[in-house]
Amino acid sequence: MSEAVKQAGSARAGMLSLAIKERAALYMAYMPFLKNGGLFIPSARAYQLGDQVYMLITLMEDSAKIPVSGRVAWVTPAGSQGNRQQGVGVQFDDNESATMLRQKIEGILGNALKSTKPTHTL
């Protein structure tokens, strides 16, 4: 895991925390192809598609932790082809908090959203 992305778990299996410090790391984690958007979160925990999870997201230099809920829409298991990082892609729920987070992410990424560079998921 890079210095730019740090993941920490909690006692609850459904709680994930992600701090993204660099724009490139945000690009790698963001999943714009999901309805409502989503993020890939490195995790060694076992999740199933459809699992409800709660996240605390910290973006760039902003110290505020943004609470958002979602469902697991992508699972990259350990030992995946192409040395892809183990973790889960979480589709944001359709609510105000998720909409604000998606807009903030897309504002930070700007034209990078049109890039064809590979990400953690595609």
Between 112 and 119, the higher pLDDT residue: 112
Q: Class for domain 5-112, per CATH? A: mainly beta
pLDDT tens-digit series, residues 73-111: 989 888 777 777 889 999 999 999 999 999 999 999 988
pLDDT tens-digit series, residues 36-79: 999 999 999 989 999 999 999 999 888 899 999 999 998 988 87
State how far the Cα of 88 lies from the Cα of 46, in Å rounded to an integer: 9
- What are the beta bridge partners of residue 54? 15, 69
Nearest 5 degrees, angle CA 121-CA 45-CA 78? 55
Length of the chain: 122
